[in-house]
């Protein structure tokens, strides 16, 4: 199983846009990442996002390029301060290639829990619009397959 953890792309400041939709740069960044992922044949069965506008728009752009068989949808447990144990536990019973589009500090804490067994930020430095691919090598054992950030793509 491959798990793609995607931090939402850059959003407008709340003072400018209370809904926090993606900025022009954010849209360009996630489009670059999605197109590159498509070129290297990343396949995702389903994209799940937090439901917040910035995560929804990021998921929509990813889905337009990668065309997940089961589409994309909002789900619980991906908000910035949600407990990473929610998704760490859910992943135990899943076998599909899945993308989770969310926020910091949640994604950093989830990655840390999967890779090291502890929920602390700092194991992976996420970037807005970036994609971290983890591979489940055995039950409860994950490894970093690759990290893709917008600044690496020209």
Mean pLDDT computed over 59-79? 98
Cα 111 from chain centroid (whole Å): 10
Closest Cα to residue 132, out of 86, 106, 119? Answer: 106
Q: Give the tens place of pLDDT for each residue, 94-103.
A: 999 999 999 9
pLDDT given for residue 154 in this prediction: 80
Average pLDDT over residues 133-144: 96
Q: Is residue 108 a contact partner of residue 119, using CB atoms and an 8 Å limit? A: no
Per residue in 4-50, pLDDT tens?
Answer: 999 999 999 988 888 999 999 999 999 999 999 999 999 999 999 99
Q: Are β-strands 98-102 and 131-138 bridged in parallel, bridged antiparallel, or unpaired?
A: unpaired
CATH H superfamily, domain 2-152: Phosphoglycerate mutase-like (3.40.50.1240)
pLDDT at 121 over 80: no
The pLDDT value recorded for residue 62 is 98
For residues 22 and 149, what is the distance between their CA atoms, to the nearest angstrom? 16
Q: Give the global pTM.
A: 0.96
Listed by start position, the domains of the chain span 2-152
Alpha helices, H only, 16-152? 24-39, 53-66, 85-91, 106-116
């Amino acid at each position: 199983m491959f798990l793609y953890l995607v931090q939402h792309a850059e959003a407008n400041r709340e003072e400018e846009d209370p809904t926090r939709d993606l900025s022009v740069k954010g849209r360009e960044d996630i489009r670059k990442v999605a197109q590159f992922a498509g070129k290297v044949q990343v396949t995702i069965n389903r994209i799940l996002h937090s439901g917040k506008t910035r995560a929804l728009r990021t998921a929509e752009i990813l889905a337009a390029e990668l065309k997940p068989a089961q589409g994309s949808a909002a789900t619980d447990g991906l908000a910035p301060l949600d407990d990473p144990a929610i998704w760490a536990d859910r992943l135990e019973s899943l076998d599909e290639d899945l993308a989770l589009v969310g926020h910091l500090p949640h994604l950093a804490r989830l990655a840390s829990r999967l890779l090291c067994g502890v929920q602390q930020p700092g194991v992976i430095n996420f970037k807005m619009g970036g994609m971290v691919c983890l591979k489940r090598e055995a039950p409860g054992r994950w490894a970093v397959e690759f990290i893709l950030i917008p600044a690496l793509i020209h």
